[in-house]
Amino acid sequence: MTGDRRDDRRDDRRDDRRDDRRDDTCAYALFLDFDGTLVDIAPTPEEVVVEAGLPTILDALRSRFGGAVALVSGRRIAALDAFLAPFLFDAGGLHGLEIRAGGRMLERPALDSAPLRAAATSLRKRLLAWPGAFVEDKEHTIAVHWRLAPQAGAALADVMEEIVAGLGAGWRLQNGKAVAEILPAHADKGRAVEALLAQEVYRGRKPVFFGDDMTDEDAIRIVNARGGVSVNVGPRPSAAAFRLPDPRAARALLARWAQEAPRDIAADLTG
Ligand SMILES: [Mg+2]
C-alpha cells in the first residue's frame, strides 16, 4: 500500500517540524549579566575568577541560539573581552552605554566625562576615612565599592547621593551589592536588551535574561513585558519570574543547554 507509506513519511516530516518547534533555541535570545551571575563576586572586580570552561560554553551557546547571545554588564566591553578571551561576544557594557553586536560598536558613551573626573577626585579624598573602600573609575561611570569595609556602607551611600545631586540632572545613582555607581541618567540595562533585540539575529526572538543585582531589574522589566524569561541568580528580592540559587547553578544550567538544546527553557528553570 504505497499510499499509506507516503502518508507515513508525511507524518514523519510533521513530527520533525514539531521537534523543531519544541527546541527553544530558535525562539529565544540569551542575555547574561557577568558578575554574580556567570562568575562569583570577588572582594574586588579584578579578582573574579572565570571558570575554565565558561568561555567555550558561551561560544557553544552562541552557536545553539543562532548567534543570539549577549552579555549585559556594568563592566566595559573591553573588560568582558579580557575575561572571556579568545572570544568576543555581543555585549551591552557600562549598563548599556556601550553596545556591540556582530563585532560592530552600535553605541559608545559620550566623550565628555569631565564632571565625573572632578567627582572621582573628590570621592577618592573622602574615601581615605574608610580603609578598604575604593573607587573604580570606568571613565564614563564611577563606582565606590565597600565589600572590604562593610561598616562604611551607609555613610558611603550618603556620600554618593550627595555627589550625584551635585552633578545635576544628567546623572543618576545605581546601587548594588556593596557598591554604588554614578552613571549617565540614560544608562540602563533594559535599553541595552532592547537595542540588541532590534538587531537582525535577535529580531523576533523572546529574551531570556539572567541577572543578580539591582541594575538588572531594568532588564528584567523589559524581558517580562516582552513575554520573555527572567531569572534572578541569588536570594535578592526581584521581579524576575524564576530564580537560581547562585552563579554555580547558572553555569551548570548553561553548560547543559550548551551540550543539549533546551526543549523548554521555562520548564528547565522550574525543575
Ligand atoms: Mg551582576
pLDDT along the chain (271 residues), means of 10: 45 47 85 98 94 97 97 97 98 97 93 84 92 93 94 93 93 94 95 97 97 97 97 97 98 97 93 70
In this prediction, residue 1 carries a pLDDT of 39
Strand partners, 93: 98
Q: What angle do CA 109, 134, 74 make, to 5 degrees?
A: 30
Q: Which three cell numbers stand for residue 150?
A: 562593610
**pTM of the predicted structure, to 2 decimals:** 0.90
Half-sphere exposure of 98 (CA within 13 A, CB side): 25
In this structure, the strands spanning 142-145 and 171-176 are: unpaired
Span from the CA of 12 to the centroid of ligand 1 (angstroms): 45
Residue reference for cell 563576586: 41
Residues 6+ positions from 88 with CB-CB distance below 8 Å: 81, 100, 103
User: Ligand 1: distance of its center to the CA of 91 in Å?
Assistant: 14
109: CB partners within 8 A, 6+ apart: 94, 97, 98, 139, 140, 184
Q: Residue 112 has what pLDDT?
A: 72
Contact 185, 171 (CB under 8 A): yes
- State yes or no: cis peptide before 109, omega within 30 of 0: no
Cα 176 to ligand 1 centre (Å)? 9
Round to whole Å and give the CA distance between 83 and 92: 15
Ligand 1 centroid from CA 118, angstroms = 27
Among 214, 171, 169, residue whose Cα is nearest residue 189? 214
Q: Which amino acid is at 2?
A: T
Q: How far is the centre of ligand 1, averaged over its atoms, from the C-alpha of 173 (Å)?
A: 16
Catalytic residue among 4, 16, 33, 218: 33
Q: What is the 220 CA–ligand 1 centroid distance (Å)?
A: 13
Asked if 194 and 21 touch (Cβ cutoff 8 Å), the reply is no
Q: Cα(33) to centroid of ligand 1, in Å?
A: 5
pLDDT at 21: 54
- Rounded CA-CA distance 78/89 in Å is 11
Output the CA–CA distances (angstroms, integers) from residue 125 to 139, 155, 167, 219, 257, in the order listed.
Answer: 18, 14, 17, 34, 47
Lookup: cell for 242: 524564576
* Segment (H or E) for 78: helix 77-83
Q: In the annotation, is 7 catalytic?
A: no
* Residue in 140, 149, 239, 148 with CA at minimum distance from that of residue 187: 140
Our measurement of the distance from residue 264's CA atom to the centroid of its chain's CA atoms, rounded to an integer in Å, reads: 21
Q: What integer pLDDT is reported at residue 22 of this predicted model? A: 61
Instruction: Find cell 547553578 and name the residue.
Output: 249
CA of 250 to the centre of ligand 1 (A): 12
